[in-house]
Structure 1
Amino acid sequence: MLFHKFHFQLANKLLKNKEQRFSRPIIRISTIGIALGIIVMLFAVGITMGYKAEISKKVVELGAHIRISNYDFNYSYEQLPIDKEEVEKIDFEGITQIENVAYYCTKVGIIKTDCEVEGVVLKGVDSLFFKSGFVKNIIEGSKLQFSGENYKNQVVISKKIADKLQLSLGDKVRTYFVQDPPKFRNFTVVGIYRTNLPDYDESFIFVNIEQVQKLNEWTSNQIGGVDIFLSNFEQIDEVVNNLNQQLDYQLKAETIQQQFPQLFEWLALFDMNVIVLLTITFFVCIITILSTFFIIIIEQIQTIGIFKAIGMKNKDISTIFIIVAGKIILKSLLIGNAIALLLAFLQQKFHLITLDVDTYYLPYVPISLSLTAVVLLNLLVFILCIGALLIPGWFVASRISPVNAIRFE
């Protein structure tokens, strides 16, 4: 379809025609409808991207992008030890995507207070763990210290465990371990965290890695596993393949998706919901512009008759009315984008729409809109709407008789 200057001039005159008493309110309704459509689509995509990113980030901060563990480690918290020497053979520095590497080990224990008893998982960590972003989840106190007086006896517990056991900063916590012979350790609460992820908040407490090594009767050269944090989540598969090629047969590297498949399968369901919503909204936009297009043609049928009487070709007439529709679509998209981006900014800044933390794991609705997503959605709406008008536009123009059209009232 070729566009000439006179196409745009005639299209502008048709749009500015003050005698459009019937179509003018229809055009306004169409503009509002398509604008609402793009707002819904941008919010659907933005909320899905934002929610998935926030949940993934939370899980990574507590676990890691990639975890190296023993092949016999069947997702039990009672681990088989790994020699640091085996891990140190890996060329971590040669993998540019790796941002941080931290050692850890775990142990199951029981916290007993005067009023309650609670089963917990001790995760022994080193100082590098707190470079992962976990510190942002600490809502009271501070992270573990790795030097100073009694630093080995510090513990960071979750807000949920603290409330249940009526613990606060500075309290002493006695933790028992079922083994032969039974052991216990006294810890001092120095920090309280909250992730809003029940699997963590109900179970995990963080202590110095040396404490868990002693409880497991390991040497300082033995660890339970390695947490690996990346600079880019998108490159996780490439890095894990690289690591598995370097590891000995008794060790394995797993991505965060492999460690928590159910969580990421649940997040993947959001994509299907968004696809369904986008498809419905696309159809609504197409039907809206088609209805408006036919109403404009009916109102301008005498004008079409005059165009044909002076020898204008069907494709030129069709082009003029498609330009009219295109201008309506563009105006709708501009209005819709302006409103959507403003609302997205306000939500991102002030968290106006809140969520039930226990159900959705986040206190507010997160929105993350990339420039690519915004541009693609707008292009799709414009192309699909214009594409839907091509055949009807040409068909109507070719069927109208000049004589009958001029007489039409």
Structure 2
Amino acid sequence: MMDASLFIARRLRFKGRIAVTSIAVSFIVMIISVSVSSGFRHEIRDGISFLSGDIQLTPVNLNYLDESSPIERRPAYLEKVEALKGVKAVSPAVYKAGIVRTDGEIHGVLFKGIENPGKVSGADSLPSLGVAVPSGLASILHLKPGDRLPSYFIGEKIRVRNFTVASVYEGMFDSDPENMVVFASLSDMQRLNGWGSNQVSALEVQLDNRYKDMQGMEAMQQEVGSMALLYADDESASVVARSAVSRYPQIFDWLGLIDFNVFFILLLMTVVAGFNMISGLLIMLFENISTIGLLKSLGMDDRRIAKVFLISASSAVLKGMVIGNAVALLLCAIQGTTHMLRLDPANYFLPYVPVHIDLPLFLLADIAAYLAIMLLLLIPSLFITKIDPAKTVRVA
């Protein structure tokens, strides 16, 4: 048998179109804010991971100019590190500071030798003496694929290599001259340093996405460092584990500030939507004073009468929420496909507004906002207790 409150609520129409529109707009703003915040987190964390790994195992005295402190490419503790929960891959890397020169232009950069350059070169491997340069450096030095890139390396003696630009990639730090990385093959950089195939500058640990927040990285840094310490043999060089959080603290602080701003926006939009719904519900209550009085005279208590109007208001909230979600997801899909809204990478690290559709996070925001709005609607429902059925029925 249908509940009486639900039966009556289905016959009462919530006429607050402005309130429903406000709900829809609020949810559009909330969902877009969450998706942009999530987009920044994913893009920047992936960019940092791509450039230098989530956690680096390096010699204690790492020096980009010195070739005298390599570590083993396959140390005794490697299998233990790879077996840790949350570790996706461990990759070797060779770093070397250098100076590149073209006609009339010179620039200091950091060279990085890697095994799998697919993300920067579009191929499984780089050709011998082939390099992938960031677009920012290519713009400064007017480089394009196929150009020669004379490079100078200072150590015990100056070494010169005539590299060829194999590809140009979009880097997260393209606007920061001090953080530009030129990628080369691992073997080329090992030969440049005079190292064997089992000698590298660092082992870079890539983590699963769920461990890429600040707390997750710091916890994994401790675990990786412990494995390297406990399972190292006598021949292994001493290493130190450093997370991306400790290498780029200002970037993670900036991401934390974005998350705080998004939380403030969610709170503000929930309050705005809630108070618009309060005004809409009050109007509905005033329009139905005689109905409330009649229900009271028929023996329905205040709680059940309030339930009638809350059910009606809830349907309006859900309607606005569905409309807002649909519009927000459409706008996010358009931005994610076209990158229509652009940013200054010098200030935001990225050339466009990133979006990431995280459905569990969206559902959490929806549920939290819906519950908060419904709690706010309990305030006007108290008006029902003040209505005297004797007066309202007589007036009606």
Structure 2 equivalent of residue 122 of structure 1: 111
* Counterpart residue type for residue 45 of structure 1: V
Structure 2 equivalent of residue 47 of structure 1: 36
Q: Distance in 2 between matches of 1:345 and 1:78?
A: 48
Task: Give 3-state SS (helix, strand or coil) of 1:13's partner.
Answer: coil
The alpha-carbon deviation at position 241 of structure 1 amounts to 3.0
Kindly report which structure 2 residues correspond to 1:234-313, keeping only aligned pairs within 5 A, or say none. Answer: 234=211, 236-237=217-218, 239-248=220-229, 250-313=238-301
The alpha-carbon deviation at position 305 of structure 1 amounts to 1.7
Structure 1 equivalent of residue 370 of structure 2: 382
The alpha-carbon distance between structure 1 residues 320 and 167, as it changes in their structure 2 partners (threshold 3 A), is closer
| CA RMSD across the alignment | 2.7
Structure 1 equivalent of residue 384 of structure 2: 397
Kept after mapping to 2: 8 A contact 1:124/1:209: yes
- Of residues 182, 197, 204 in structure 1, which corresponds to 2:173? 197
Kept after mapping to 1: 8 A contact 2:82/2:89: no
Q: Distance in 2 between matches of 1:274 and 1:64?
A: 27
Q: Distance in 2 between matches of 1:79 and 1:275?
A: 48
- Report which stretch shifted further, 212-221 or 338-347: 212-221
Kept after mapping to 2: 8 A contact 1:160/1:201: no
- Of residues 125, 128, 140 in structure 2, which corresponds to 1:152? 128
The alpha-carbon distance between structure 1 residues 323 and 244, as it changes in their structure 2 partners (threshold 3 A), is same
- Report which stretch shifted further, 215-224 or 60-69: 215-224
Unaligned runs of 5+ in 1: 16-22, 146-150
- Report which stretch shifted further, 383-392 or 56-65: 383-392
The alpha-carbon deviation at position 371 of structure 1 amounts to 2.4
Task: Give 3-state SS (helix, strand or coil) of 2:128's partner.
Answer: helix
Q: Distance in 2 between matches of 1:208 and 1:348?
A: 32
The alpha-carbon deviation at position 202 of structure 1 amounts to 5.8
Structure 2 equivalent of residue 20 of structure 1: none
The alpha-carbon deviation at position 245 of structure 1 amounts to 1.5
Kept after mapping to 1: 8 A contact 2:173/2:180: no
- Of residues 119, 141, 152 in structure 2, which corresponds to 1:136? 119
1:25-70 deviation per Cα after TM superposition (whole angstroms, max 9, x unaligned): xx11111011111111111111100121011111111111221001
TM-score of the pair, normalised by structure 2: 0.87
Q: Distance in 2 between matches of 1:352 and 1:156?
A: 27
**How many residues matched?**
383
Structure 1 equivalent of residue 328 of structure 2: 340
Kept after mapping to 1: 8 A contact 2:82/2:88: no
The alpha-carbon distance between structure 1 residues 11 and 144, as it changes in their structure 2 partners (threshold 3 A), is same
Q: Distance in 1 between matches of 2:71 and 2:44?
A: 32
The alpha-carbon deviation at position 121 of structure 1 amounts to 1.6
Structure 1 equivalent of residue 232 of structure 2: none
The alpha-carbon deviation at position 266 of structure 1 amounts to 0.9
Kept after mapping to 2: 8 A contact 1:160/1:202: no
Task: Give 3-state SS (helix, strand or coil) of 1:229's partner.
Answer: strand
The alpha-carbon distance between structure 1 residues 163 and 201, as it changes in their structure 2 partners (threshold 3 A), is farther
Kindly report which structure 2 residues correspond to 1:317-396, keeping only aligned pairs within 5 A, or say none. Answer: 317-393=305-381, 395-396=382-383
1:317-342 deviation per Cα after TM superposition (whole angstroms, max 9, x unaligned): 22211122112112211222222222
The alpha-carbon distance between structure 1 residues 79 and 311, as it changes in their structure 2 partners (threshold 3 A), is farther
Q: Distance in 2 between matches of 1:209 and 1:137?
A: 14
Structure 2 equivalent of residue 170 of structure 1: 146
- Report which stretch shifted further, 87-96 or 37-46: 87-96
Kept after mapping to 1: 8 A contact 2:131/2:184: yes
Kept after mapping to 2: 8 A contact 1:142/1:190: no
Identity, % of aligned pairs? 29
Kept after mapping to 2: 8 A contact 1:66/1:255: yes
Kindly report which structure 2 residues correspond to 1:220-239, keeping only aligned pairs within 5 A, or say none. Answer: 220-234=197-211, 236-237=217-218, 239=220
Kept after mapping to 2: 8 A contact 1:153/1:186: yes
The alpha-carbon deviation at position 344 of structure 1 amounts to 2.1
* Counterpart residue type for residue 243 of structure 1: V
Task: Give 3-state SS (helix, strand or coil) of 1:353's partner.
Answer: coil
TM-score of the pair, normalised by structure 1: 0.84
The alpha-carbon deviation at position 205 of structure 1 amounts to 1.3
- Report which stretch shifted further, 224-233 or 30-39: 224-233
The alpha-carbon distance between structure 1 residues 258 and 7, as it changes in their structure 2 partners (threshold 3 A), is same
Structure 2 equivalent of residue 148 of structure 1: none
Kept after mapping to 2: 8 A contact 1:195/1:201: no
The alpha-carbon distance between structure 1 residues 192 and 277, as it changes in their structure 2 partners (threshold 3 A), is same
Q: Distance in 2 between matches of 1:402 and 1:338?
A: 43
1:98-120 deviation per Cα after TM superposition (whole angstroms, max 9, x unaligned): 33322222222222222212112
